[in-house]
Structure 1
Amino acid sequence: MGQDVLVTVKGTRRDADSPPETIEVVSPGTYYCKNNTYYIIYRETALTGMDDTTTTIKSDGRTVTVIRNGSVSMRQVFEPGQSHRSVYQTGFSSMETVICPWQIEVDLTEHGGSIKLEYELVLAGVPAGTNSLEITVKKLLPASKS
């Protein structure tokens, strides 16, 4: 079920005390639409510090939910005008997170597309800066036959 895609995730974190920090990861993944909701599924890498974790991103065009299961467990909901609390769980500890989005752009079709999120992150009650997340989904081209 689903089509093979290349998922690019570019995250940038900003706070008042240091320059912006950007991480970009490109991973193979799976992409499909079910009941008017798009699903992007890929495995995290050691670069993100979440190896052995599967990430599922789902969007109905208005709300975006990021779910991680594995060495890290969490569920972040990005909904216009709403803050959402969740728990970020690792094998060592857990911490409450709050997502306060101010920009959510979803441009997904059956061929792929992009999601752009801008939000404030609060960790354990302490503001942790502003973040942007850009997710791009592109179909993998079939290998040419030689």
Structure 2
Amino acid sequence: MTKDVFVSISGMHEEIAETPAVERDEAEAIEVVTPGSYYFRNEKHYIVYDEAVEGSSEMIRNRIKITGTGCVEIVKSGLSDSHMIFEKNKKNSTYYRTPYGQMLLDVNTRELEIQVTEDEIDVRIEYELDVNHEPMADCRIKMNIMSRSNGSFSVLG
């Protein structure tokens, strides 16, 4: 994998609240595609990228650390701060700091799949998100990190 990568992250959050099935089925995934940097040190994959915040000139710095096939960490710093840890069949807690205050997040990871090839890393995570000890959403995240020199990158499909 080269240092210069494309990072594609898509996610879906389905509220756990009493939402009719019709509304839940209409939920759409959110996807971000951005350039980033990749490093491999001490048997761990690191991906760093900046995220623009709508309505603000500040950026959020995102750092993803992938350890083997069993752990993904996402650290956000800047306008908002958090350190989310995803480990299959484990619940991890963190504080999520925003300009409006902080919340306690519990992340209960149900599924975690990591596939690494020479020019690409694919990650799939399914988890339950609790906010301040209250069930909030069932969530799915897909990440694709690909060398920029790989000519097969596409935002379609």
Q: By percentage of residues, which structure has more strand?
A: 1
CA-to-aligned-CA distance 1:55-103 (integer Å, 9 cap, x gap): 1111112111110000010000011221001000012200000000110
TM-score norm. by structure 2 comes to 0.82
* Aligned pair partner of 2:114 in 92, 97, 106: 106
Q: What is the identity percentage for the equivalent residue pairs of Structure 1 and Structure 2?
A: 26
Residues 53-132 of structure 1 mapped to structure 2, 5 A cutoff: 53-61=60-68, 62-132=70-140
Distance 1:130 1:55, change over 3 A: same
Assess if the C-alpha contact under 8 Å between 1:32 and 1:110 holds in 2.
no
Report the CA distance between 1:3 and its aligned residue: 0.5
Q: Distance in 1 between matches of 2:132 and 2:89?
A: 21
Q: Distance in 2 between matches of 1:50 and 1:98?
A: 29
TM-score norm. by structure 1 comes to 0.88
**Mind listing any 5+ residue stretches in structure 2 that lack a counterpart?**
151-157
Q: Distance in 2 between matches of 1:127 and 1:66?
A: 21
CA-to-aligned-CA distance 1:15-64 (integer Å, 9 cap, x gap): 251423421000100112101100111111235x8951011111112111
Q: Distance in 2 between matches of 1:96 and 1:137?
A: 29
The total of aligned residue pairs comes to: 141
